[in-house]
Structure 1
Amino acid sequence: MRPEHPSNRPASTSPLADTQREWAPDPASPLPLHRQISAFFMAKISSGAWPPGMRLAPQRELCRQLGVNRSTLVTALGVLADQGLIEGRRGGGTRVTAVQADGKAEGAKLFGNWNDYLEEGTHYPNLPAVQAINRLEYEPGLIRLGTGEPAPGLLPGAAMTRVLAAGPLPPLSYEEPLGSSSLRRAVSRELLKSGITADPASILITSGALQGLQLIALGLLPRGSTILLEKPSYLYSIHAFQSAGVKFSGLPMDQGGLLTRHIATEALRTKAAMLYTIPSFHNPTGIVMDRERRQSLMEITGGLGLPILEDGAYQELWLDSPPPPPLKALDREGRVLHLGTLSKAASPGLRIGWIVGPEPVIRRLADIKMQTDYGASSLSQLAAARWLDGGYHEEHLMVLRGKLRERREFMLQLLQAHFTELATWSIPAGGFYIWLSLHQPMPLRRLFTAALQAGLLLNTGDLYDRGDSRHLRLSYAYASPEELSRGLPALAGIIKQNIN
């Protein structure tokens, strides 16, 4: 997928994206709702929080966020327009106008507006749909059917409290560039359980696995280079590589994982610099690359001298039986970089991940990380080291797997009852996701909007493959059984309406 030129990217601003959770008009107030809204908007504009050129969200979205009807919102916007604080532009929505110190509107100055800066930054904004999901996940009342994290009730809050109370805290000064030595030793021992032999000097502690992707994109791949990856893939939903000027070339999959017979041809055609894969419980499909396919992948990429970036975020979350050994466990040439994290099993908020690789590569990435944040949180690293060394992690995984099995079975029962005529799916052997394949293609953005109006938050397939029109990523890890009982039948009804 060719990266967009920054000047062609849409602005990613949306008023009320965060403030709506802090403020809403009060129906019990003697002040009319439209007056409350216009006063709130006016305060945002006059304080500079909403700068000139900022585009307001569409009226339908503003109505939903504020909980008012369209006529109330239009009246409020009319007050602002009469004062010259906002203006409508054909094809450009409604934007904040420039204002003088006395609050009156004026024409543009030499300094245009922050929008110009937002659109010229080197790091791409998230896809609009991803921005919407990131914002909406924190709105109360929505049923999150695709969220890629464990529900709060599945997280080990009590155990983590014991970890933090296990002894006096050290000074919590900066850690060394590679990260806490005690944590790297603990990670080294943990990796050995899956067959990966990694000396602590070959491990870099990161602020989550996502930072690992960003460091690799910035530090190892030249602009204009190409990486091969499965299609669909989680990487299509983020811009860590595209923002670094790296292009993607997608490879097809089947139920055995990435089809390795396409690697050599595509690598030579694109002069690929790296191959990225999630071999165990792939995001978003849930597929496990089989043992023979893994061996084939290692042999083909070895012949090409092609490095591999292996994302092992989900490999511990097996529900039926452990997956085949990670690619890093098969690596005898130092060609595989392996990403790991505690976010999917133990604590998303701890923000602890790691990269395993050859020592010179790890030192290079550590240098970039030091320039970025001077190291992951010392407190988080201390907690993670105690968590792993104290045996809490293995104990928690046993409990978590049991709860995920129950949730998986419950979702499968609901799918069988409500989606048999609408879609097909496979039973995942682990991870969080069921990849729902609709019998008929449909506009997934329209489905997303219709579901949102019904109180359902979806992760549609076009986030992971731009051309997709028939897949949904469903997660059994977040929504409660009660929410699934309401949400999945409602989703089936919405799909039927959109088909007809």
Structure 2
Amino acid sequence: MDWKPDRNVKKPIYKQIVEYIEQGISSGLFPGDSLLPSERALAKELNVNRSTVVSAYEELQSLGIVDRKKGSGTRVSTDIWGIAHKRIPNWGRYVEDGSFLPNLPLVQKIRTEIQKNNLVNLASGELSAGLMPTEAFQNILSNQPFLGSLGYDHQQGNEALRHTLVSHVREYKEINTNSSSILITSGAQQALHLIVECLLKPGDAVAIEDPSYCYSLPLFQSAGLRTFLLPVDKHGANPEDLMALHKKHRIRMVFLNPDYQNPTGTIMNISRRKKFLEISTELGIPIIEDDPYSLTSFNGEVNPTLKSLDTNGNVLYVSSLSKIVASGLRIGWIIGPSQVIQRLADAKQQVDFGHSVFPQWIANEFLGSEYVHSHIKTIRTQLKLRRDEIVLGLEEVMDDQIEFLTPAGGIHLWCRIKATINEHKLLEESINNGVVFVPGSILGSNNGYIRFTFGRGELGLIRQGITRFAESFNILRKS
């Protein structure tokens, strides 16, 4: 046998053996009813452990490709291509070979764990049910009958909602736009996917903040992009770092979250905002501004968005109702040049034939109602109470073992653990003790950080969660 497994690739050796034998059967190298080498002989020939060959033969057997009998060896099935034989697709291989990458295993684990009711959830980046305007929605549904069509809507999204958003972003964000420059999306997540898939190509270099929510997203890798990091300090990302990256890598696009950044909670200062816009204009680099949190400002002052300062059309502005109204509505939007919006709308139409009509109607009724102002005030007050509870809790039970910057808005608290500790083991111990958070490695390149999210927790439970975390921390530190 001339073939040998390649030990330099990530694919397990037993799977390489499976593929080799499958190809050999297809090419006639291993005819039907032919006897394959014994486990011991093949292991010796390929210089692998016998258990590796056993795993390969077992998978081939599960697929109906070989027959195995104790004492008789492993033979190629005689009816592998026959009518009587039913072959089951190798779904495991299909799952592995798809070009759209899965979430990181740790992200998947956290999402699985937060479904358990006995956990205090300090991980999910959403509002608790008690912070959503449920009563307002009930009044809208009771007093305002839906009279629209349930057929396909405009590919950019419902026209009435887009007109309402024009007024909304002008009043709250000082962004001047028109309905033809807005695309309704299924939350900000779909907006980012559309931008990456439609406006970039494999091999393009993009700059993202470090740490950031974007760091955790596999969509950049799925699209074949090269990502480069902009370190975030207490004033946000530094535009000078973008200049340095561009000189080396010719950055094609930059992704920024200027207000109450996820996960650090920092606010990019005004001078840096203006400098990023200057660089964007000078070098022709588009800026993707992700703005889910600016309306949560605890003092009621909303900072000027990059889009409101943009006089040249260099910024694609992404926002949603997920962090200020309800994540389940799945209402997000992109504001940008008309030709870009048309391109993204065409792609969205290919994916889902346009956004669902009913949630757009509810969102339009809510944003155009008297409920909006009072709801935003309530959100600010309630989130500040939750922030204060988590901050006071950490100060009391963690003493000087942890440090953080107290955010002035948003829903996240970014913490550095001073002791050297394995954050994965800390998460495992915390889950066992009834609380879940997000390890910092999911969101950034530096070790020793964790993110607590206080928007999802209820008052009282947040403090309980921090107490459980501290207990887990102390157990792990002493072990």
Q: TM-score, normalised by structure 2?
A: 0.81
Name the stretch that deviates more: 252-261 or 203-212: 252-261
**What's the secondary structure of 1:387's corresponding residue?**
helix
Amino acid at match of 1:372: V
Q: Please point out which of 122, 126, 145 is paired with 1:168.
A: 145
Secondary structure in 2 aligned to 1:273?
Answer: strand
Question: Shift in Å at residue 112 of structure 1?
Answer: 5.6
Aligned counterpart for 1:303 among listed residues 257, 282, 286: 282
Matching of residue 157 in structure 1 with residue 134 in structure 2: yes
Q: Contact between 1:442 and 1:469, CA under 8 Å: does it hold in 2?
A: no
Aligned counterpart in structure 2 of residue 491 of structure 1, from 464, 469, 472: 469
Relative to 1, partners in 2 of residues 1:468 and 1:350: Cα closer, same or farther, differing over 3 Å? same
Q: Secondary structure at the match of 1:165?
A: helix
The AA in structure 2 aligned to 1:400 is I
Query: Would you say the 8 A contact 1:433–1:475 is kept in 2?
Result: yes
2:226 is matched by which residue type in structure 1? Answer: K
2:99 maps to: 122
How far the C-alpha of 1:441 sits from its partner, in A, is: 3.3
Q: What's the secondary structure of 2:407's corresponding residue?
A: coil
Identity of aligned residues (%): 31
Matched residue, 1:41: none
CA distance in structure 1 between the partners assigned to 2:435 and 2:230 by the alignment: 31
DSSP-derived class of the 1:285 partner: coil
Distance 1:320 1:132, change over 3 A: same
Kindly report which structure 2 residues correspond to 1:43-442, keeping only aligned pairs within 5 A, or say none: 98=62, 113-169=90-146, 170-193=148-171, 194-442=173-421
Q: Deviations over 1:143-163 (max 9, x none)?
A: 111221111111111111122
Bigger CA radius of gyration: 2
**C-alpha contact 1:307 1:335 (8 A) present in aligned 2:** yes
Which deviates further from its counterpart, 107-116 or 226-235?
A: 107-116
Instruction: Decide whether the 8 Å contact of 1:9 with 1:119 is kept in 2.
Output: no
Residue 259 (structure 1) shift? 1.4
2:453 corresponding residue in structure 1 = 475
8 Å contact from structure 1 (residues 312, 339) kept in 2: yes
**Deviation of residue 91 (structure 1)?**
12
The whole-number CA distance in structure 2 between the counterparts of 1:484 and 1:89 is 48
Residues 1:160 and 1:414: Cα distance change in structure 2 (over 3 Å): same
CA contact (8 A) 2:296 2:409 kept: yes
After TM superposition, give the deviation of residue 9 of structure 1 in Å: 8.0
Q: Secondary structure at the match of 2:251?
A: coil
Structure 2 unaligned spans of 5+: 1-8, 13-50, 81-86
Post-superposition CA distance 1:414-453 (Å, at most 9, x none):
1110122211111100000111111123222111111111
Measured at CA, do residues 345 and 8 of structure 1 come closer, stay the same or move farther in structure 2, by a change above 3 Å?
Answer: farther
**How many Å separate the matches in 1 of 2:300 and 2:282?**
31
Contact 1:346 1:393 in 2 (8 A): no
8 Å Cα contact 1:321/1:429 also seen in 2 = no
Counterpart of 2:3?
Answer: none
Name whichever of 270-279 and 388-397 sits farther off.
388-397
Match of 1:13 in 2: none
Contact 1:233 1:284 in 2 (8 A): yes
Q: Deviation of residue 474 (structure 1)?
A: 0.7
Give, in angstroms, the shift of residue 302 of structure 1: 1.8
Partners of 2:134 and 2:300 in 1: how far apart? 26
- 1:497 deviates by 3.0
C-alpha RMSD of the superposition: 2.4
Please state whether the residue corresponding to 2:259 is helix, strand or coil: coil
**Cα shift at 1:173:** 1.4
Equivalent-residue separation in structure 1 for 2:233 and 2:164 (angstroms): 36
TM-score (norm 1): 0.78
Report the Cα distance in structure 1 between the residues aligned to 2:88 and 2:371, rounded to whole angstroms. 55
Structure 1 residues 499 and 374, CA, compared in 2 at 3 Å: closer, same or farther? same
1:450 aligns with 2:414: no
Structure 2: distance between partners of 1:163 and 1:346 = 14
| Alignment-derived partner of residue 37 in structure 1 | none
How far apart in 1 are the matches of 2:377 and 2:11? 45
Cα gap change, 1:363 to 1:426, in 2 (>3 Å): same
Instruction: Encode CA deviations 1:239-281: one digit per residue, 9 max, x unaligned.
Output: 2222111121001121111112111110121111100000001
C-alpha distance in structure 2 between counterparts of 1:222 and 1:99, whole Å: 37
Is contact 1:425–1:435 with CA below 8 Å preserved after alignment? yes
Q: Distance in 2 between matches of 1:118 and 1:240?
A: 16
* Count of aligned pairs between the two proteins: 412
- For the 8 Å contact 1:407–1:477, the answer to whether it is kept is yes
* Alignment partner, residue 63 of structure 1: none
Distance (whole Å) between structure 1 residues aligned to residue 92 and residue 251 of structure 2: 35
Describe the superposition over 1:49-108 as per-residue Cα deviations: whole angstroms up to 9, x where unpaired.
xxxxxxxxxxxxxxxxxxxxxxxxxxxxxxxxxxxxxxx97999xx997277xxx99989
**Counterparts in 2 of 1:243 and 1:99: CA distance versus 1, 3 Å:** closer
